[in-house]
Amino acid sequence: MVKTYGLTHIALAVRDLERTLQFYRQVFGAEETYREEGRVEVQTPGCKDVITFNQREPHPGESGGIAHFGFRLTTPDDIDAAVEAVKSAGGKIVDHGEFSPGYPYLYFEDPDGYLIEIWYE
């Protein structure tokens, strides 16, 4: 067994780097940590996760076998704010409800069509 700190990052091929960056800033408060031509890395506030947006990669928006990726809410009361943040940032709501009482979820697509889940556990 290899000991790790868990999943550290995901890299996404995107069509429009600035549009994608703005979307993730609006929805998640993503903060830019690194930039080079055609690539930006961001982190969400208070976390050590990294999302890399690559404009130079082929096939933006195609999951390549990944069904979706998710973000865990700190409180279930924030699900309505998440819905509004996604809508106002231009995301497309796919599904919204509860897995069971008190355990809400939201599935939506970002500007490139990646399916993302926000949920409480």
The domains located in the chain, with CATH, are: 9-119 (3.10.180.10)
Per-residue pLDDT at 2: 62
Q: What CA–CA distances, in Å, run from 65 to 28, 40, 44, 81, 87?
A: 24, 23, 25, 30, 26
24 three-class SS: helix
**Can you tell me the distance from the alpha carbon of 79 to that of 47, in angstroms, rounded to the nearest whole number?**
19
Residue 61, both tokens: 């928006």
pLDDT tens for the chain, residues 1 to 121: 767 677 788 999 999 999 999 999 999 999 999 999 999 999 999 988 999 999 987 888 877 778 899 999 999 999 999 999 999 999 999 999 999 999 999 999 999 999 999 999 8
Q: Quick check: pTM over 0.85?
A: yes
Strands 50-54 and 39-43 come out as antiparallel
Residue 37, both tokens: 């031509």
Residue 34, both tokens: 């690194």
